[in-house]
Structure 1
Amino acid sequence: MTGGFDSESTATKLFNDIAEFSADTEGVSRPAYSSIETKTLEFLVGFARDQGLAVSYDAGQNVIFSLPEDADAEKFVLVGSHVDSVPNGGNFDGLAGVIAGLLCLARAKHLGIGFAKPVKVIALRAEESAWFGPCYIASKALLGKLQDSELNALHKGDGRALKAHMTDIGIEVDRVQKHEPLMDISAIDAYIELHIEQGPLLVEKNLPAAVVSGIRGNIRHRKIRCTGEPGHSGAVPRAYRKDCVLAMADLLSRLDESWLTILQKGEDLVLTCGMVGTDPQIHALTRIPDLVDFSLDFRSQSTTALDAIRNLLEQIIKSVERERRVKFELDAEMYTAPALCDSQMVKGLLASMENVDLEPFTMPSGGGHDAAVFANAGIPSAMIFVRNRNGSHNPHEAMEISDLIAGTDIIFNYLTEMPE
């Protein structure tokens, strides 16, 4: 408890209340640009106003919080994350970063102190790629980086374009299409994001938090279609088959071998095929499949490795098409560049870890985050990871509130002690 403000019980109640109204059949679902996402923002607005904080909406319909005296600051440090989730996801991915920022503001308000520089906290919408395909939608739109192909991406549920969903909630899509920033980028001195770790490193090292050194970029294809030729499973010999599923398997096997080669050369890379399906209207146990759709997700901290795997994908596709007499059709590539965290901010956050009696530790981020968009827009950016069991993007995320408070303490110390 600090200055009469109990951060731990406050955070617990916020998480529990939001989980209750965004619960799905398992875990939580807060779809990007949905009414549930809007309700989450409105709930946080109510909490902030109860704490005496200033609240406003930006042109991207994200919410901005601050101490009242910093509401009109011409330059500020931006702290935040996103409030949407994947389908049937966990309650902490994204939301933890927003709540951490709000705890910093509420603590300062209760203590009657200001920050070394004005601070604003942003609750972003639409970070997850699960709903439309593109990732970091709100932060890209905010900084004028959202592409036309991304605006035309279709929602996985209703099939409507992203730009239609954005229009529905009051975003001026014509500004987004012109790549016009929805916020004055020059006003942002720095960006800080707290996020749960999405892997096991902090759990294995028994550390509550870490400073992030860099964020993997990615190449994504939401739908690659392989087309072959149908036939009877018992009547067509191997030499005459144009089996698209085996062609896809061949492609993935060769990519897996290339992945290992890239790793053996000391490069960073991960590869995932997370969605696979034949046509449910016509597939059958006894039918040679003539169509299969699948996704690919390549991630790396190295642009060299991403360029290499892109070129390899093109070469392998040509080879498999020739040998198996099938055709691959790729949708538009979605690309996000890798991002390094600002070295001075990393140094300052490590010093803050020591100041709050935590063991300084740095690590890279395997997952992508809004911080990468801010960093690649030229804004000094940094991240804090908080220990979390059972991974993320699933209902079993298991962050301890005490670890969140440890991460929040790091940021609060940094914001109050950072040089003018």
Structure 2
Amino acid sequence: MNKKIKLIKKTSRTFLLTGLFLAILSSVVLYLYTKKILESEVEEVLYSTEARVESALKNGTEQFGLPPVIEVNRVEVLGREILKDTIIYDPSEDEMELFRELSTYKTINGTNYQITVRNMVVESEDFAFAIVISNVAIFVLAFIFLFYFNTTRNLKLWTPFFKNLEQMKRFSLTSKEPLSLVDSDVLEFSELKTEIETLTDKVRSDYESLKQFTEDVSHEMQTPLAIIQAKIDNLINEQEISNKQFEQVTSIQKDIQRLKQLNKRITTLTKIDNNQFINIEEVNLSSLIQEKIESFKELQFANLVYTSKNELSVSMDTYLADILINNLVSNAIKHSKENEEIAVVTKDNLLIISNYGEKALAHPEKLFLRFYRESSTSQSTGLGLAIVKKICDLYGFKISYQFEVDHHVFSIDFQLKIKV
């Protein structure tokens, strides 16, 4: 996954890289251009000096020279004009210097001459560097000013966006508080604000409709299920039925019980979503677990073993605490082999429940999803662990699952809050 960076940092980085590239490019271009101009000026001086020497020779001035700047020599054969850089000894500076040299051949008053004129180019190089450095200094100062001005301006410009983003992060379907979005004079940000308000209002409306639908369906299901159950009971008690009919009626009763359980669990999830469990009490989980285990043992689940290393108490709704323990123990019983021990342990702020398993789950990441069943043959509603996860999320408890040494292990840390 690519590393995410903040918008301002990304735009600033782009500005910096672009500015750096332009600074380097402009400095190189300026240096080459200045150097070219200076070379042209030096060459113009050389040709001008050569013309003066030639004019003096035509006027009968005696042959003269001023080494290393001007040299005039008689030659037998004329050569071609040469323009080049050369390094020669400068007696005035007592060191080797770089010169631009123009060497021409002329026939003046019947005599062949080689006229060589030179001009020192070191100073012109220094001049070029001075111009480039000055340009860079000005560019850097302007760049720093523009960078801070641009960053400050961008921060001010994007402030409505960042504020609205923070509001969206805090958005909750269960909250009745309206979003306090900030308007902007930027058209796109203003349109984004309008669309966010429209979208969140629509989502809340759909959520409320769905929630109301779930509540209505759960409520309406209770009466017909109770009527069907009563009629089946009357049918069994008042009439003689065959073994086959008894098996069919028993199957129907099991399906009705499953529907009742499904309806009850959906109602519980809906109430948790609606924050209807607001009664917070100090619940002694150690005692509650002991009571639950005794109840299950009465139902012939004698392989439950409870170990308490210290008394565990938690602040939560008593009804939800009962559902939490019941669902976890029921899940362990349902998915454990007969006569295999189911261990329930409380220590420090932890509740640990483990049961035997032949193999690890194929998709443990889906374990707490609603209606998820590891096996299609399971008669589970797929809501028991989803309710457990919902209760843990409600109070900030951390629930986890591992498969260790042929055992499915569920643990809840009641002290460690989940980081959102």
- Scaled by the length of structure 1, what TM-score is found? 0.18
Q: Which has the larger radius of gyration?
A: 2
Q: TM-score, normalised to structure 2's length?
A: 0.18
In terms of fraction of residues, the more helix-rich structure is 2
Compare relative contact order (CA 8 Å, sep 6+) and give the higher one, 1 or 2. Answer: 1
